[in-house]
Chain A
Amino acid sequence: MVTADDGRAGRLASLERRFRSPIRGPWLTSVFGLVLLIGIPVEFITGLLSYVAYDPQYGNDPNPKHGLFGFFVFNWFAEPSWLYRLVEGVHVGLGLVLVPIVIAKLWSVIPKLFKWPPFSSVAQVLERVSLTMLVGGIAFEITTGILYIDYYPKYVFSFYTGHFYGAWIFMAGFTVHVALKFPRMVRSLRSRRLRTELRTGLSGTLPEPVDDDLVATEPAEPTISRRGVLAMVGGASAVVFLLTAGETIGGVLRRVDLLGTRVASPDIGPNHFPVNHTAASRGIGPLQTGAAWRLELVGARRVSISREQLLAMPLISHDLPIACTEGWSTVQHWTGVRLTDLAGLAGAAGATWAYLEPFDGNAAYISGTQLHASQSMLALRVNGADLSLDHGYPARIMIPDAPGTHNKKWMQRITFEAV
């Protein structure tokens, strides 16, 4: 007699038989796993550092309820000026490069999703829940990241909330998965030699000779070799790098930057570099930035200062990056007044933090470390020319090593405070 359950099991068993790829197996899965085992911790650490770089303890916190998840926060650096650019460039760039590897890894283990019975013990039930955190987590982090860097407008929740706490859920699943599977990964990697695989073409491609639930019970004729799959997946990663990395690294790669988030800039001449937030989109015009413009400095005393007076002060020039949270960055030659000199002018030479208020209302706090850093400036000129309106005319903040969003444009007021 056939029960309903037997019928179900039978159907699923036939489903299991339909996974016929002759190259699926623990070795191939472990190769992709090893790449992710290296790449994902880099993503996690650069992600946490990117959060630290916001200096959340100074009131810039996009995740104010972080609780214990903020244990690692420290005063972010003001030098070397390339550090934030590197951290965020790696986080976004490597994240995109890992996408094909994640797809391949998930393809290689998909039979496990249909394993029957799905819940043979309490341990298995719990492990399946942790795997949901792992697979759902990586898909969540990748999709939120891509939609964020590509400015998808219909976000239904805060990117910072989702991507930050989602990363912790994902990493919890990832850590137990690594702990449980690491010995098996090592064993599987040792079962075949990479060099031999790279010499084996289609005709020599046979299923892995091990009893494993990833290996097909009724393998089909091979249509692609293992080296073919590795080349296809690795090639996809290389192509992603080639077509997006230019917007961070620059140089020759900038010429093939066809799918980065900033492939063009609105201006020509000295102000010809990418813009984030145009003046028009922020409602900035001659009303705020005309001849009547004055910068207000608030410390022990209040000082109102014109652009001409600022230009008459001692000026410094430095090559500093604008490094965006979306991953792109651009290094330009900036000229302006040291922020620490402005603090002195307001009678606040000993200030330990400052509050930056631009005309668009998009304010931020900076730490004393960044305020007094030798290259931190109120920039008036770029590449030898006056700032364009889109780049923050009459004056903008340039802080080495801060996220681009702290380099406020169209400055109205700086308030210097001591704790």
Chain B
Amino acid sequence: MRWLRRHYGAHPIHLLLMVACFAVAGYALSRMNAQGGLGRIVLWFALVLIVHDLIGWPLYTWADRALQRLAPRKRPGQPPSVPWINHVRVPAFLSGVLLIISFPLVLRLSAGPYEDLSGVSESAYLGHWLLVTGLFFMSSAAVYALRLLRARRRLNPTG
């Protein structure tokens, strides 16, 4: 037991869980192989992992940092202003999530099969996505304007 802990690096139950986990995965791989397309499925698996970890995450982090650099730093002695960064972040995040869940429709990547199957055009989706994106940014800007107004009033009750 102690030998295992020292050389393995965790409790034996940890090892047991790992063995069970890989057994299930190995069996799933063998079933996929029997059905065909295993190589392409594994490739897709690796591809989406890379797209998230090495493209998607670095990209949105970089965009967010760029946004933070644009935001004015608070200097001591200066009256507190209303930070605007989250009024860009929130609508951008909502719009991005909607694009992720519907990009084949919005970008008309499946126009052919979609129109064959449903009998209607796929072209409505781009407009829908742009419409809700516009609504998110406009309502976010409106809320920001209200907060700004309130902050000015608080600072300057007579004016």
Q: Which A residues lie at the B interface, using CB under 8 A?
A: 63-69, 96, 99-100, 103, 106-107, 110, 113, 120-124, 126-127, 129-130, 132-133, 135-137, 139-140, 143-144, 146-147, 150-153, 156-158, 161-162, 165-166, 168-169, 171-173, 175-176, 179-180, 202, 223-224, 228, 232, 235-236, 239-240, 243-244, 258-259, 261-266, 274-278, 280-281, 390
Interface of B, helix, strand, loop or mixed by DSSP: helix
A268 to B102, CA, bound (A): 26
A100 to B97, CA, bound (A): 6
Within 8 Å by CB of B93, from A135, A146, A232, lies A232
| In the assembled complex, B18 has its CB within 8 A of some CB on chain A | yes
A286 to B21, CA, bound (A): 56
Known: A140-B44, A232-B90. A99 touches B37 (CB 8 A): no
**Residue on B with the closest CB to A100?**
B97
**Residue on B with the closest CB to A150?**
B104
Within 8 Å by CB of B119, from A63, A157, A390, lies A390
Find out whether the CB atom of A153 lies under 8 angstroms from the CB atom of B113. yes
Known: A68-B27, A140-B48. A121 touches B21 (CB 8 A): no
Find out whether the CB atom of A223 lies under 8 angstroms from the CB atom of B100. no
| In the assembled complex, B77 has its CB within 8 A of some CB on chain A | no
Find out whether the CB atom of A239 lies under 8 angstroms from the CB atom of B98. yes
Contact residues of B between 39 and 57, Cβ < 8 Å to A: 40-41, 44-46, 48-49, 51-53, 57
Some 30 contacts from A to B, beta carbons below 8 A apart, are: A69-B28, A121-B9, A121-B10, A123-B14, A124-B9, A129-B22, A130-B21, A137-B45, A150-B104, A151-B117, A157-B40, A161-B37, A162-B41, A165-B31, A166-B45, A168-B24, A168-B28, A171-B24, A172-B21, A173-B21, A180-B17, A232-B89, A235-B94, A236-B94, A259-B129, A263-B128, A264-B120, A277-B116, A277-B117, A278-B116
Find out whether the CB atom of B114 lies under 8 angstroms from the CB atom of A151. yes
Query: Shortest distance in angstroms between A248's beta carbon and chain B's nearest beta carbon?
Result: 14
A142 to B36, CA, bound (A): 21
| In the assembled complex, B132 has its CB within 8 A of some CB on chain A | yes
Chain B: interface size category? 35 or more
**Residue on A with the closest CB to B71?**
A223
A48 to B21, CA, bound (A): 19
Contact residues of B between 99 and 121, Cβ < 8 Å to A: 100-106, 109-110, 112-114, 116-120
Q: Which B residues lie at the A interface, using CB under 8 A?
A: 7-10, 14-15, 17-18, 20-22, 24-25, 27-29, 31-32, 34-37, 40-41, 44-46, 48-49, 51-53, 57, 68, 71, 83, 85-86, 89-90, 93-94, 97-98, 100-106, 109-110, 112-114, 116-120, 124-125, 128-129, 131-132
